[in-house]
Structure formats: structure tokens, C-alpha cells
Amino acid sequence: MHSAARTGLHHSLPLGIALGAGSAKGFAHIGVLTELEAVGVRPDLICGTSSGALIAAIYAAGKLDEFEAWTRQLDVPAILRLLDLNFTVSGGMATAQRLIEHFRAEMGDLAIEDLATPFAAIATDLYTGREVWLTRGSLWDAVRASVAVPGLLTPQLVDGRWLVDGGLVNPVPVSLCRALGAEKVIAVNLLADVIGKHIGHGGRERPIEPVEPRDNSLLDAVTTELRSRAGAMVPSWLRGGDTDAPGMMTVVASSLDIMQDRITRSRLAGEPPELLLTPRLAHVSLLEFHRAAEAIDIGRRCVQLSRQSICELLGLPYPQETGPGDGGPGHDGPGNGTPGSGAVRGDASGPPATGTGTGSPPD
């Protein structure tokens, strides 16, 4: 595997960036990566899980600026078209085929091994439960496998295995960065503050922060689309009907949040990065892809508030004037190691974790 271009790098040890799962929250990774470059940080390799795999792939392909411009103008109708809702296929409600074909058309039918920056993604083998490391082959097949949220997107067939969302086994792929040679890892966890935050009284979904009037809920749009295809029973199936019981998508979103939060805590305890960034994204729920601009800006803010820790880790010059320290979105202040901190220095004592978890790289 060839090394990444080192233009702009100030550190001497191989640096990996691990981008975590988070569905619509994943747009925050764009802001994180853009702001890291503004500081002078470019990774030697980049790994991602689920939406983190998508952003990592686009970064490795050198198309992040174009992708950011595209995401900032996404609206609900466009997202519905790209998701390809389809009740005639098995394994999920949508195929996202148009989305993947869009990436192929705009960025090329790329192979992972040909990227300028080494890249790898995490997926889960649906039948064995094993963690799968996608380190070569079709870039977009790897991304499609890693983002296959169970019940929402259909599984992806890769090398004879049906693969689903990598967040089921390794939501923040620090271990994969280590295995690929990173001696320092900056990780981004999008799920540190999400448990129960988007669930209102009686189990109903609610945003923590108000959404602009034009930003209709994607869940509402999905419900309307399904109503037109499957009759009036679908909205109650999705949203919980006329009772206070949670709807299906609320159950799916909250269950994934709980599971991935617990897995992330466990894995980061055993495989700590040198630096952990946690943008504040509890108010962006599973399908709110139309809030990309907001999530991107929160990612930028997280890095800005964590700049001193980043500079100390990588030996970069740090300006005397410091940024705001009010504990706003993305930062509680460094140092306590608890989930939810804006920047947390990992325990760097002892050898780095280089194990494969429950899986191993593909042959």
C-alpha cells in the first residue's frame, strides 16, 4: 500500500483518522476534515464506519470540497430520490442505488488500492457477525456495504458475503487505523451524546433544536411516500399511530444509538486513540440528511475548540490567542476521557492496539 502525500504535514509518525458511524450525523466529518486541513493536518491514512466510511472515501478520492458543496444544497425530495425506496426488494426499505451511481458518475469507478490516501472501511458479515475490513476492490461497493443500516438499506454482496453496517461491530475504527500502520490516531465519535436525546415524551421523535421551516422532516417525507405505496396503515406502523407508543423508525434509530454507544465505549476503552473528537449532534436524527450544512458547521466548530489539543499532539505551532472556551457544541474541555468531551487525549501508555477485533482483513 502506497503512502499518502505528505504535503502540509508537520508530524513525524504515521497519522490515521478514524471516522465513526452516525447516519445523517456523518456530515459533521466534512467539517472536521476541512478544519483539520486548515490547521495543517492531513492524515497518512483514513478509515471509516458507515457514514464515516462514505466521508473517508470521498476524502481519500480528493473530492471533499465538491461533495460539501453538493450536500449543502440537498433537500428532502432529492434525498428520497437518491435513497430509492422500494418495497419489492428484500432486506430493507431502500437500495440507495441512485446515490452510488451518482458517486460513480461524478468521481469515477474507483478502486481502493488506487487512492492517493490509503483508505479502509468496516462492514459486518450478516451471517457470521464478523467484522470485515474492506481494504481493496471497488470503493463504492465498500462504502455501500458499510452504510447498509439494517432494516433501512438492503445488504450489499461483496466477494460472496452479504455485508451490512459496520457500526454493528466497530463504530469508530481506531483498531483498523492501528492495523494499517498508524502510530497516532485522531478519532471522531458522533454518538457520544445521543442516547434518548431525540425522543420526546411518549416516545415521539423531536429535534433538540428547531429546524428551519423549509426543512421538513425526512421521516415525514418517507411516511408520505410509503402511504402512497402501501396504504394508510403505514404511517402508524412507522410513527406509532394515535397512541404514545414509539413508531418503527423511532425504535430503529434509538436501538442503533444505544447499541453503537455501548460498543463504542467498550472498544475505545480497549483501543483508545491519541485524540477523540465528539461533535454535539444529538439533535440530528437518523434520517435528517437535509441538515448537512448544520452538521458540517458543528464539525468545524469541534475542531476549532480542540485546536490546542491537536497542535500539542502533532507538534504544530499554536497561536497565543485561544478560541472560545465556553463549552459550546463539540467541546466540554479536554482531559477527562469521558464520552461527550470535545477533545480527549487517549491513554498513550503501552503498545497501540493492533488486533483485528472479531474479524480480519479480507484475503
> Is 165 a catalytic site residue?
yes
Ramachandran region, residue 146 (left: φ > 0; alpha: ψ -120 to 50; beta: rest): alpha
Q: Name the grid cell of 44.
A: 497518512
Comparing CA positions, the residue from 185, 186, 172, 170 lying closest to residue 360 is 170
Query: Phi and psi (nearest 5°) for 319?
Result: -65, 150
> Is 90 a catalytic site residue?
no
Listed in sequence order, the residues at least 6 apart from 111 whose beta carbon sits closer than 8 Å to its beta carbon are: 136, 137, 138, 139
Q: Are 169 and 357 in contact (CB under 8 A)?
A: yes
Name the catalytic one among 23, 44, 50, 146.
50
What are the beta bridge partners of residue 46? Answer: 17, 119
Name the catalytic one among 165, 193, 257, 332.
165
Catalytic residues: 50, 165
